[in-house]
Structures are given as structure tokens and as C-alpha cells.
Structure 1
Amino acid sequence: MDDIVVIGQLARDLVLVVDEVPGPGGTTPVRERREMLGGKGANIAVGLAQLGAPVALVGVVGDDDTGERLIARAAADGIATEGVVRRPDTGTGLIVDLVADGWRYLEHLPEAVLLREDDLPLDVIAGAAAVVVQLQQPPEVALAAARAARGRVVLDGAPERLADELLARADVVRADHREAELLSGRTIGTADDAVEAARAVLAKGPDLVAFAVDDVGNVFVWDSGELVLPLGDVEVVDTTGGGDSFVAALTFALTRGDGVEEAARRAVEASGDTVAHLGGRPTLTAR
């Protein structure tokens, strides 16, 4: 299989499980604690590596011990890390996933851990069969990466700016409910709403649009068809990383030549697998 490049965030991911979130001045014991390589870009890259794709990660860590450990963990996962920048005088990003009566996320992702245009390995991007661009990065950087790509461009999320320019460069767009409304400029309440919104985004350039719709499921729209896959019977333990595994499996399947419907089903299965356990790190297999 040809190489896939993931451009996105990597951070230290700390998962804390508590019975209840204490109020001001209160304390509560932590029932379970896990630490792992995290961030949306890293999660997608890990999922691709688990599925068997040759994958490279482009992102930023600090010049601290945490950054060094995260790079080593990514390399151990089978990810090429030459594109990971170690930013001087910068602390590596931190994401805290607090699991109690729902999920709460605390993020310390300062501007210094975002990519800059001169961080991008343009030759590596140009040589990849597919490039996943995670849109938590600055829009100008995302657009520079999409312009450099010669293979399939997969956008994940909704940019703050330059949406039309990015959509014109995209082959695949994946967005959650809120992001889908931002991209389309429409309110989405039903599967029919989502299909219409996806058609509006499709008209701006992509070949495939995939929207996750609350209380509905996943909606896929392409030139010659559409598919709505309802939410499965998976017991959701932690939603962290579900979308990342979705993107990894969808990109993997399309890159190896699967049809859209088969790729869509594999993406939904991968997402369901990930939300059934704590933390955003996927546990995918080629099966």
C-alpha cells in the first residue's frame, strides 16, 4: 500500500475516571488513570498504522521530555516521525479527558504547538497517495498542505477561515455535527437535512462528504449516491477518538481501492470500536 501522510496534532493524553466532578474547594478520588500518545493527528496515524498502512505524521511537540517520549511512542507504533517538529522553548501539548457523568476535555494547546507553513515537508506530502489534513491547524497551513498534495486529500473538521479554498482542494471531507453545520451554513436536525447539507458542500469540490449527525448516525454523500448508517448498538464508554478512528479507516479503505459503501461501513465499525473503551487511542486491526 502507498504511503499516507497525516498532518495534525499530537499531545500527551491523560484520561481520568472519577465518580463525580467536585465542586469548588472539593476533591474526589481518581478511579482510573491512563496516559498515552494522543491528539487527533496522532490518533489517526496510529489507527492507520494498526490497519497496515505505511504512515507518516507531521505535527509539533515541545523540546521537553514529554515530546521525546511521544515521538518514541509513535515510532514504536510504526509511524514515520521525521515530520514531527520539536519546537524550542515550548512545552508539549496536553489533553485531559475527564470521564464522570459524561465527558469533559481540558486542553493546553498553545499556539507554539501548531504547525507553521515552513514546518511542512512538502516533498513528502507531494509523494503520498493520501494526505489527511486535520483542521485544528491554522487554515493557511492546511491550505498549503492541500496545495502540495498530489494524492487524495482528506479534510477532517471545519476551518476557521479559507473554507471554500480548502473544499476546492479536497477529495474527502469528514465533519461532526457542529462542523457540518459550519461548513454548510445549514441547521441539521434529520438525516434528510444532513444529506442536503452534504450536497451543498459536495458542490464546492469534494468527491465524498461524510457527516456525523447527532441522534441519527453517519451520512455519506457522493456524486452518484448517498448512504445513511444509523448508530450501532455499541455501549459508549468514551467518545474521545471515535472520529479519528473513523477518518483512519475511511482513508485506509479508499486508498486501497474499496468502494465508497464498503469504506463507509468500515469507518463506522472502527469508530464504534474506539468509543467502546477509554481514551482516544484506537485498537484497530486489518480484520
Structure 2
Amino acid sequence: MRIAVVGQIARDLVLVVPEVPSAGGSATVSERREMLGGKGANIARNAVGLGATAALVGVVGDDRDGDLLVQRLSADGVAADAVVRRTATRTALVVDVVHDGHYRYLEDIPPACLLTPADVTAASSALASADAVVLQLQQPGNACLAAARAAGGLIVLDGVPDSGTDELLAAADVIRADHREAALLTGREITAVDDAVEAGRALLARGPSTAALEVPGEANVLVWQDGHAAIPLTAEHVVDTTGGGDAFVAALTVALLEGDTPEEAGRKATRAAGQAVTHPGGRTTLTRES
């Protein structure tokens, strides 16, 4: 099974602190991790761990960090042929400050590290031959639209686009959104399962056949044409929620490609997300047995 992911690549610096200092203060870092990151890279790497082959369409700079991230992708088994090396550009950096299981992101993402339609067109053969294309919607809407038009298989949307929402939803088979993203897409505040079901039905009316939405702190809700299921979150101790959504998307996509029902796929995805939040940072080692 072949999955192509269109999304962000970044160097991640994770700092775990016992407290977040006020202005003029300081805090001692209790744990520090540096790794390949970005939602696109996380999803692609997780898909490989779950048994798929994955190609990543994204952008890094022409600096040393870009060299290292492309090498890391290859070492993780992710095809990096479609990763763009943008000249005279520094690679994106995300600093994840973690306290009490909650992240605070400091992001240095140069505009040149975002995909363009031309970048996507250059990767059209990888998109057309994939069994599924995951569009991580932190990328510009026009680039995501170009990817949706080139896709030859299942189209999975993750998040909220900055433009082209109606056309992307009409092209999509699956959409995953957290409660904030679902509210932006539907105008419905998601505080309970019934809210998520209503929002999911509204999204299905715009194109997708499956919606996966979050009820914060309670459940993931899968909605499809003939039904819905609320899947309780797992009981793991949450260290850092970074990467939970990326693990969910990868596991959901793989399970659907393997023929699982939306409910079965949602249960596997929820377990994967639960595993991802038990450690700092978004780099998670998922396997078919996990």
C-alpha cells in the first residue's frame, strides 16, 4: 500500500520544563530532544511504521538542517524524492515547550518553506500512483488543491485549508479535524458527542464519505453515511499532545486502505494517538502490533 503525504517538514526542538517562566524569569530544562518533525514528516514516518510505503512532498531549505532532515527521512524509510530543496532558504524550525502535558509552539517557518502548486505538479506522478494521498492543510490552499487534482486514490484531509475549502471537501474521501478545526469548518462548537455527529454530517454533505472529529478530553467521533461511533480516548498519561493527531491520521489512513470499517479504523487510530502522547515531541514509533 502506497501513501503520499503533502505537508510540513521541520526540525523539532522539544524542551520539557517544570514551569513556564514569566517575563524576565527563567526555567531549567528537564528534558531536551531534537528530531525530524513537521506534521507531514510525522504522518509519513508513522505510515511506514504501520506497514505502508510512504512518499513525502514538502520543502526544506538548502542548509545543513535540510540535509540532515532529508537523510533522516530516508533512514526512516520515507521516500524523499519529492522533497524540494529551496535555495537561499533556511529550513523550518519548531520549538515545542512542554509543561504539564501542554505544548507551546515557537515556529520559524519561512514562507519559502511552504509548497507551491509548481512543487506539487513536479510530484504529480507520486501522487497519481499512491493508494492514498494525505493533505496536511497547513500548506497553502492552492498547493493542496493541485495535490487533490493530481491524486489517484483515497484523499484524506487533515485540518482546515486557508482557501479552496469547498473544492477540497468535494474532492475528499476522508476529513480529520480537531474540535477547533471542526468549529471553523462548520460553525458548530464541539463540546459533546452529539455536536461532533452533527458537525460530521454537515461535512459529509459537502463531499467526504467519512469524518473523524474530536470531542476534547473525551472521544474521537467517526461519522459515515450509514452511522457513527464515539471512541473514548485511551487512558495513557499525557506527556505532550504533540504528534497525537499525526499518529491518528496515519493509522486511520492505513486501516481504511486495509479495508477496515470507519469504526474499526477509528479505534486503531485512537490507540495510535494514545501511544503518541506518552512522550515529548511528535516523533512516535508506531508498529502494526502497537
Q: How high is the TM-score relative to the length of structure 2?
A: 0.97
Q: Distance in 2 between matches of 1:270 and 1:142?
A: 25
Q: Distance in 2 between matches of 1:31 and 1:212?
A: 31
Aligned counterpart, 2:86: 87
Q: Distance in 1 between matches of 2:78 and 2:234?
A: 30
Aligned counterpart, 2:127: 125
Q: Distance in 1 between matches of 2:5 and 2:162?
A: 20
Match of 1:255 among 232, 257, 275: 257
> What's the offset of the Cα at 1:99?
1.1
Alignment of 1:254-273 (within 5 A): 254-273=256-275
Aligned counterpart, 1:27: 26
Q: Distance in 2 between matches of 1:241 and 1:212?
A: 15
> What's the offset of the Cα at 1:283?
1.4
Alignment of 1:173-184 (within 5 A): 173-184=175-186
SS in structure 1 of the partner of residue 81 of structure 2:
coil
> What's the offset of the Cα at 1:232?
2.0
Say if 2:155 and 2:172, in contact at 8 Å, map to a contact too: yes
> What's the offset of the Cα at 1:160?
1.9
Q: Distance in 1 between matches of 2:29 and 2:190?
A: 37
RMSD between aligned residues:
0.9
What amino acid is the match of 1:138? P
Alignment partner of 1:168 is 2:170: yes
Alignment partner of 1:108 is 2:108: yes
Q: Distance in 2 between matches of 1:238 and 1:188?
A: 22
SS in structure 2 of the partner of residue 30 of structure 1:
coil
The C-alpha deviation readout for 1:218-257, integer Å capped at 9, x for no partner, is 0110001100012221110100000000000000111122
Aligned counterpart, 1:39: 38
Aligned counterpart, 2:278: 276
Unaligned 5+ runs, structure 1: none
Match of 2:204 among 202, 205, 214: 202
Structure 1 runs (4+) greater than 4 angstroms displaced: none
> What's the offset of the Cα at 1:21?
1.8
> What's the offset of the Cα at 1:24?
2.2
Q: Percent identical across equivalent pairs?
A: 59
Q: Distance in 2 between matches of 1:232 and 1:249?
A: 15
> What's the offset of the Cα at 1:184?
1.2
Unaligned 5+ runs, structure 2: none
